[in-house]
A and B are shown apart, each in its own frame.
Chain A
Amino acid sequence: MADVHNEDMILSLNAALSKVREALDTTVKIEQNPSMSVSDRDANVVIVKAAIANATSTLQNCRSDTYEGAAAPDPSITAFSITVPGTAVAGSGPGTFVATVDTHDHNGVPIEVGTRVNATWSSSDSGIVSVNSSTGSYMPVSQGNITVTARYTDGSVASAPMVITD
Protein backbone atom coordinates (compact mmCIF):
# COMPACT_ATOMS: atom_id res chain seq x y z
CA MET A 1 0.00 0.00 0.00
CA ALA A 2 1.32 3.44 -0.89
CA ASP A 3 2.49 5.66 1.92
CA VAL A 4 0.29 8.66 2.60
CA HIS A 5 2.01 11.98 3.04
CA ASN A 6 0.96 15.40 4.25
CA GLU A 7 -0.23 16.53 0.83
CA ASP A 8 -2.39 13.42 0.43
CA MET A 9 -4.07 13.86 3.81
CA ILE A 10 -4.72 17.55 3.24
CA LEU A 11 -6.40 16.72 -0.06
CA SER A 12 -8.53 13.96 1.45
CA LEU A 13 -9.54 15.94 4.53
CA ASN A 14 -10.24 19.04 2.47
CA ALA A 15 -12.52 17.04 0.20
CA ALA A 16 -14.35 15.55 3.18
CA LEU A 17 -14.60 18.93 4.91
CA SER A 18 -15.98 20.51 1.77
CA LYS A 19 -18.78 17.95 1.63
CA VAL A 20 -19.59 18.29 5.33
CA ARG A 21 -19.78 22.07 4.87
CA GLU A 22 -22.14 21.57 1.95
CA ALA A 23 -24.34 19.30 4.07
CA LEU A 24 -24.29 21.72 6.97
CA ASP A 25 -25.05 24.76 4.80
CA THR A 26 -27.93 22.94 3.16
CA THR A 27 -29.29 21.88 6.54
CA VAL A 28 -29.17 25.46 7.81
CA LYS A 29 -30.88 26.63 4.61
CA ILE A 30 -33.75 24.24 5.27
CA GLU A 31 -33.86 25.12 8.95
CA GLN A 32 -34.04 28.84 8.27
CA ASN A 33 -36.69 28.62 5.58
CA PRO A 34 -39.79 26.97 7.04
CA SER A 35 -41.86 28.15 4.07
CA MET A 36 -39.73 26.13 1.64
CA SER A 37 -41.89 23.92 -0.55
CA VAL A 38 -41.99 20.24 0.29
CA SER A 39 -40.38 19.30 -3.01
CA ASP A 40 -37.53 21.80 -2.49
CA ARG A 41 -37.04 20.61 1.06
CA ASP A 42 -36.95 16.98 -0.03
CA ALA A 43 -34.44 17.84 -2.76
CA ASN A 44 -32.23 19.56 -0.21
CA VAL A 45 -32.44 16.63 2.19
CA VAL A 46 -31.20 14.43 -0.62
CA ILE A 47 -28.28 16.86 -1.12
CA VAL A 48 -27.39 16.67 2.58
CA LYS A 49 -27.44 12.88 2.66
CA ALA A 50 -25.42 12.63 -0.58
CA ALA A 51 -22.85 15.10 0.73
CA ILE A 52 -22.42 13.13 3.93
CA ALA A 53 -22.15 9.87 2.02
CA ASN A 54 -19.44 11.48 -0.09
CA ALA A 55 -17.54 12.74 2.97
CA THR A 56 -17.81 9.30 4.54
CA SER A 57 -16.50 7.63 1.42
CA THR A 58 -13.58 10.05 1.25
CA LEU A 59 -12.65 9.32 4.85
CA GLN A 60 -13.10 5.59 4.28
CA ASN A 61 -10.57 5.76 1.45
CA CYS A 62 -8.18 8.34 2.88
CA ARG A 63 -5.69 5.63 3.96
CA SER A 64 -4.88 7.62 7.07
CA ASP A 65 -3.63 4.44 8.72
CA THR A 66 -0.55 4.61 6.50
CA TYR A 67 0.00 8.32 7.08
CA GLU A 68 3.72 9.08 7.16
CA GLY A 69 3.62 12.51 8.76
CA ALA A 70 6.12 13.75 6.23
CA ALA A 71 6.25 15.62 2.98
CA ALA A 72 6.01 13.51 -0.13
CA PRO A 73 9.27 12.50 -1.78
CA ASP A 74 10.27 14.35 -4.90
CA PRO A 75 8.73 13.07 -8.13
CA SER A 76 10.57 10.16 -9.72
CA ILE A 77 11.70 10.01 -13.31
CA THR A 78 10.18 7.13 -15.22
CA ALA A 79 11.74 7.83 -18.61
CA PHE A 80 14.59 9.90 -19.99
CA SER A 81 14.60 10.14 -23.77
CA ILE A 82 16.16 12.19 -26.53
CA THR A 83 15.02 13.38 -29.92
CA VAL A 84 17.70 13.08 -32.60
CA PRO A 85 17.10 13.40 -36.35
CA GLY A 86 17.95 10.11 -37.98
CA THR A 87 19.72 11.78 -40.89
CA ALA A 88 21.26 15.13 -41.77
CA VAL A 89 23.31 16.57 -44.60
CA ALA A 90 26.93 17.48 -43.99
CA GLY A 91 27.38 21.21 -43.89
CA SER A 92 23.68 21.90 -43.32
CA GLY A 93 22.65 24.43 -40.73
CA PRO A 94 22.90 23.80 -37.00
CA GLY A 95 20.17 22.04 -35.08
CA THR A 96 19.44 21.23 -31.47
CA PHE A 97 18.99 17.83 -29.85
CA VAL A 98 16.16 17.67 -27.33
CA ALA A 99 16.04 15.73 -24.06
CA THR A 100 12.81 15.05 -22.15
CA VAL A 101 11.74 13.26 -19.00
CA ASP A 102 8.50 11.69 -17.79
CA THR A 103 7.84 11.90 -14.05
CA HIS A 104 5.43 10.32 -11.58
CA ASP A 105 4.65 11.07 -7.95
CA HIS A 106 5.30 8.86 -4.93
CA ASN A 107 2.11 6.93 -5.62
CA GLY A 108 3.10 6.21 -9.21
CA VAL A 109 0.67 8.73 -10.67
CA PRO A 110 2.09 10.46 -13.77
CA ILE A 111 2.83 14.14 -13.22
CA GLU A 112 4.51 15.27 -16.40
CA VAL A 113 5.19 13.65 -19.75
CA GLY A 114 7.78 14.90 -22.20
CA THR A 115 9.10 17.74 -20.08
CA ARG A 116 12.10 19.29 -21.78
CA VAL A 117 15.26 19.19 -19.64
CA ASN A 118 18.92 20.06 -19.88
CA ALA A 119 21.40 17.24 -20.38
CA THR A 120 25.06 16.73 -21.12
CA TRP A 121 25.52 15.86 -24.78
CA SER A 122 28.25 14.08 -26.68
CA SER A 123 28.90 12.85 -30.20
CA SER A 124 30.77 9.59 -30.80
CA ASP A 125 32.77 11.41 -33.50
CA SER A 126 32.96 15.18 -33.33
CA GLY A 127 34.57 15.14 -36.79
CA ILE A 128 31.23 13.98 -38.19
CA VAL A 129 28.85 15.86 -35.90
CA SER A 130 30.03 18.44 -33.42
CA VAL A 131 27.79 19.11 -30.46
CA ASN A 132 27.73 21.68 -27.68
CA SER A 133 27.76 19.50 -24.57
CA SER A 134 25.56 21.81 -22.50
CA THR A 135 23.02 23.14 -25.01
CA GLY A 136 22.68 20.17 -27.40
CA SER A 137 23.26 22.45 -30.37
CA TYR A 138 24.90 20.40 -33.14
CA MET A 139 26.47 20.84 -36.56
CA PRO A 140 26.73 18.06 -39.19
CA VAL A 141 30.33 18.37 -40.36
CA SER A 142 31.09 15.42 -42.66
CA GLN A 143 29.67 12.17 -43.96
CA GLY A 144 29.48 9.20 -41.59
CA ASN A 145 27.57 7.46 -38.84
CA ILE A 146 27.65 8.51 -35.22
CA THR A 147 25.91 7.87 -31.93
CA VAL A 148 24.53 10.81 -29.98
CA THR A 149 24.53 10.33 -26.22
CA ALA A 150 22.90 12.42 -23.50
CA ARG A 151 23.32 12.10 -19.77
CA TYR A 152 20.78 13.52 -17.34
CA THR A 153 21.63 14.83 -13.87
CA ASP A 154 20.17 11.72 -12.18
CA GLY A 155 22.58 9.51 -14.14
CA SER A 156 20.12 8.39 -16.80
CA VAL A 157 21.67 7.95 -20.22
CA ALA A 158 20.00 7.87 -23.62
CA SER A 159 21.57 7.47 -27.03
CA ALA A 160 20.48 7.41 -30.65
CA PRO A 161 22.16 6.86 -34.03
CA MET A 162 22.55 9.58 -36.63
CA VAL A 163 23.63 9.29 -40.27
CA ILE A 164 25.28 12.20 -42.04
CA THR A 165 25.21 12.23 -45.82
CA ASP A 166 27.03 14.38 -48.37
Chain B
Amino acid sequence: MMRKTLFIVAVALATPAAAQLRLPHIIRRPGQPQPLPPAQVQPGLQQPIGVLRTDFATQAGGTTAYFMSGSAELSPQARTVLSGQSAWLRLHPEVSVRIEGHGDSNDTRDHALALGARRAEEVRNYLMLLGVPAAQVSAMSWGKERPGAPRAVTVIVPSGGPAGVAAGGQP
Protein backbone atom coordinates (compact mmCIF):
# COMPACT_ATOMS: atom_id res chain seq x y z
CA MET B 1 0.00 0.00 0.00
CA MET B 2 1.56 3.16 -1.16
CA ARG B 3 -0.44 5.11 1.38
CA LYS B 4 1.13 3.25 4.27
CA THR B 5 4.61 3.54 2.89
CA LEU B 6 4.33 7.25 2.59
CA PHE B 7 3.15 7.55 6.13
CA ILE B 8 6.09 5.61 7.46
CA VAL B 9 8.53 7.75 5.56
CA ALA B 10 6.95 10.86 6.96
CA VAL B 11 6.97 9.60 10.50
CA ALA B 12 10.61 8.72 10.24
CA LEU B 13 11.31 12.27 9.23
CA ALA B 14 9.23 13.55 12.08
CA THR B 15 11.53 12.42 14.85
CA PRO B 16 13.69 15.10 16.43
CA ALA B 17 16.64 13.37 14.87
CA ALA B 18 15.34 14.96 11.73
CA ALA B 19 17.65 17.79 12.63
CA GLN B 20 19.92 16.44 9.94
CA LEU B 21 17.10 16.31 7.47
CA ARG B 22 17.77 15.25 3.98
CA LEU B 23 15.50 16.70 1.38
CA PRO B 24 12.90 14.04 0.73
CA HIS B 25 12.58 13.33 -2.95
CA ILE B 26 9.45 14.71 -4.48
CA ILE B 27 7.00 11.94 -5.05
CA ARG B 28 5.51 12.13 -8.49
CA ARG B 29 1.89 11.28 -8.53
CA PRO B 30 -0.31 9.92 -11.29
CA GLY B 31 -2.13 12.61 -13.21
CA GLN B 32 -5.50 12.07 -11.63
CA PRO B 33 -5.95 12.92 -7.93
CA GLN B 34 -6.09 10.00 -5.56
CA PRO B 35 -9.61 9.03 -4.54
CA LEU B 36 -10.58 9.50 -0.93
CA PRO B 37 -11.46 6.45 1.15
CA PRO B 38 -15.12 5.59 0.49
CA ALA B 39 -16.19 6.32 4.04
CA GLN B 40 -15.13 9.89 3.57
CA VAL B 41 -16.25 10.40 0.04
CA GLN B 42 -19.97 9.91 0.67
CA PRO B 43 -20.56 12.69 3.18
CA GLY B 44 -17.62 14.55 1.75
CA LEU B 45 -19.55 15.36 -1.37
CA GLN B 46 -21.96 17.38 0.72
CA GLN B 47 -19.62 19.03 3.21
CA PRO B 48 -16.13 18.21 2.11
CA ILE B 49 -14.44 20.96 4.07
CA GLY B 50 -15.85 19.99 7.46
CA VAL B 51 -15.02 16.33 6.97
CA LEU B 52 -11.59 17.05 5.60
CA ARG B 53 -10.82 19.38 8.47
CA THR B 54 -11.83 16.80 11.05
CA ASP B 55 -9.82 14.11 9.30
CA PHE B 56 -6.81 16.41 9.01
CA ALA B 57 -6.92 17.40 12.68
CA THR B 58 -7.11 13.79 13.88
CA GLN B 59 -4.87 12.08 11.33
CA ALA B 60 -2.16 14.76 11.19
CA GLY B 61 -1.90 14.95 14.95
CA GLY B 62 -2.80 18.63 15.24
CA THR B 63 -3.40 21.74 13.16
CA THR B 64 -1.27 24.09 15.20
CA ALA B 65 2.45 24.71 15.60
CA TYR B 66 3.27 26.70 18.74
CA PHE B 67 6.14 29.14 19.14
CA MET B 68 8.07 30.80 21.91
CA SER B 69 7.09 34.42 22.52
CA GLY B 70 8.95 36.73 20.11
CA SER B 71 10.33 33.81 18.10
CA ALA B 72 9.60 32.30 14.70
CA GLU B 73 11.83 29.27 15.30
CA LEU B 74 10.25 25.82 15.04
CA SER B 75 10.49 23.77 18.22
CA PRO B 76 10.95 19.96 18.08
CA GLN B 77 7.28 19.63 19.08
CA ALA B 78 6.22 21.94 16.26
CA ARG B 79 8.31 19.92 13.80
CA THR B 80 6.58 16.74 14.93
CA VAL B 81 3.15 18.27 14.32
CA LEU B 82 4.23 19.56 10.92
CA SER B 83 5.57 16.15 9.92
CA GLY B 84 2.15 14.71 10.61
CA GLN B 85 0.59 17.50 8.58
CA SER B 86 2.95 16.95 5.67
CA ALA B 87 2.14 13.24 5.57
CA TRP B 88 -1.56 14.01 5.39
CA LEU B 89 -1.09 16.74 2.81
CA ARG B 90 0.95 14.50 0.56
CA LEU B 91 -1.88 11.99 0.67
CA HIS B 92 -4.34 14.72 -0.24
CA PRO B 93 -2.68 16.70 -3.01
CA GLU B 94 -6.07 18.03 -4.09
CA VAL B 95 -6.49 19.85 -0.78
CA SER B 96 -5.14 23.38 -0.37
CA VAL B 97 -4.15 24.77 3.00
CA ARG B 98 -3.46 28.23 4.30
CA ILE B 99 -0.96 28.75 7.09
CA GLU B 100 -2.34 31.44 9.38
CA GLY B 101 0.48 32.94 11.43
CA HIS B 102 -0.26 34.79 14.67
CA GLY B 103 1.89 37.32 16.50
CA ASP B 104 2.13 37.75 20.26
CA SER B 105 -0.87 39.36 21.97
CA ASN B 106 1.29 41.77 23.97
CA ASP B 107 3.28 42.89 20.91
CA THR B 108 2.64 46.13 19.03
CA ARG B 109 0.27 46.00 16.04
CA ASP B 110 2.70 46.01 13.13
CA HIS B 111 5.52 43.98 14.64
CA ALA B 112 2.92 41.34 15.52
CA LEU B 113 1.77 41.34 11.88
CA ALA B 114 5.32 40.77 10.64
CA LEU B 115 6.11 38.15 13.28
CA GLY B 116 2.91 36.25 12.43
CA ALA B 117 3.93 36.32 8.77
CA ARG B 118 7.37 34.98 9.69
CA ARG B 119 5.86 32.11 11.64
CA ALA B 120 3.52 31.24 8.78
CA GLU B 121 6.42 31.39 6.33
CA GLU B 122 8.56 29.20 8.56
CA VAL B 123 5.82 26.57 8.71
CA ARG B 124 5.22 26.76 4.96
CA ASN B 125 8.91 26.30 4.23
CA TYR B 126 9.13 23.33 6.55
CA LEU B 127 6.12 21.65 4.93
CA MET B 128 7.75 22.18 1.53
CA LEU B 129 10.96 20.72 2.88
CA LEU B 130 8.96 17.64 3.80
CA GLY B 131 7.73 17.32 0.25
CA VAL B 132 4.45 19.23 0.20
CA PRO B 133 4.17 21.06 -3.14
CA ALA B 134 4.46 24.85 -2.84
CA ALA B 135 1.23 25.40 -4.75
CA GLN B 136 -0.68 23.47 -2.11
CA VAL B 137 0.29 25.81 0.74
CA SER B 138 -0.31 29.54 1.10
CA ALA B 139 0.65 31.70 4.08
CA MET B 140 -0.78 34.79 5.73
CA SER B 141 -0.62 36.64 9.05
CA TRP B 142 -3.34 37.66 11.48
CA GLY B 143 -0.93 39.67 13.61
CA LYS B 144 -2.68 39.95 16.96
CA GLU B 145 -6.20 40.02 15.51
CA ARG B 146 -7.04 36.57 16.91
CA PRO B 147 -5.73 36.53 20.48
CA GLY B 148 -4.13 33.38 21.83
CA ALA B 149 -0.80 31.64 22.18
CA PRO B 150 1.99 32.44 19.68
CA ARG B 151 1.19 30.00 16.89
CA ALA B 152 0.67 29.14 13.24
CA VAL B 153 -2.46 27.21 12.29
CA THR B 154 -2.80 25.09 9.16
CA VAL B 155 -6.30 25.67 7.78
CA ILE B 156 -7.88 23.71 4.94
CA VAL B 157 -9.40 26.11 2.44
CA PRO B 158 -12.07 25.48 -0.19
CA SER B 159 -10.52 24.49 -3.50
CA GLY B 160 -10.61 27.35 -5.96
CA GLY B 161 -11.54 29.63 -3.08
CA PRO B 162 -9.54 32.36 -1.43
CA ALA B 163 -6.70 29.92 -0.97
CA GLY B 164 -5.46 31.58 -4.11
CA VAL B 165 -3.76 34.22 -2.02
CA ALA B 166 -0.24 33.93 -3.28
CA ALA B 167 2.00 32.19 -0.88
CA GLY B 168 5.22 33.63 0.28
CA GLY B 169 4.40 37.20 -0.48
CA GLN B 170 5.89 37.57 -3.91
CA PRO B 171 4.57 40.72 -5.52
Q: Does chain A bind chain B?
A: no
* B residues neighboring A (CB under 8 Å): none
